[in-house]
Amino acid sequence: MGLFDKLLDKAINHAVDKVTNKTTDKIEKNETRQNAASNSQSQTNQKPIIVPENMKAHFDDILKNDFSQYTVKENVPAKEISSNADSESRAYTFVLHKDGQAAAAIMLTPHNRYRNKGFLGAQNACKQAGIPFINFFTHFPNERNYVVLRIKSFI
């Protein structure tokens, strides 16, 4: 089929579509794909996605309900875990304590902040003290079951 035939075919299809209010197969297939994707997404996303701004509250709830045997402290400086901690080390988002001793440190981290000096200093302070360091990225969903199982695997 030559260029002229393709253009003529396209013009005829457009004219027919306009008169009959039908769409061409290509457009129809695209709309079908978009509708299927939209329906699939709404069916699989039954739970609301937790945005990073609400992640701390999400973890508060998990730690309160699933780790009630621990005392939870928030925004704990790395110096409380190890006296050798670098002064630039980030504070831990949560530290779980049992019988007065730190049992695990949890850090909620944006995806691009896990290799900076403050993060690495906090991680190293836990390593020096022999305390599990658990990092969760705030741009991931961190569903309840995942968080609980991951924390339990470290403790």
Domain coordinates in residue numbering, the chain: 3-44, 52-154
Report the C-alpha gap between 137 and 47 in whole angstroms. 19
Burial annotation 118-132 (CB, 10 A radius, 16+ → b, else e): ebebbbbbbeebebb
Report phi then psi at 72, rounded to 5.
-110, 125
Name the more confident of 66 and 17.
66
Query: At residue 37, does pLDDT exceed 50?
Result: no
Q: Could you tell me which residue, 122 or 4, shows the higher pLDDT?
A: 122
**Using the 8-state DSSP alphabet, how is residue 155 labeled?**
-
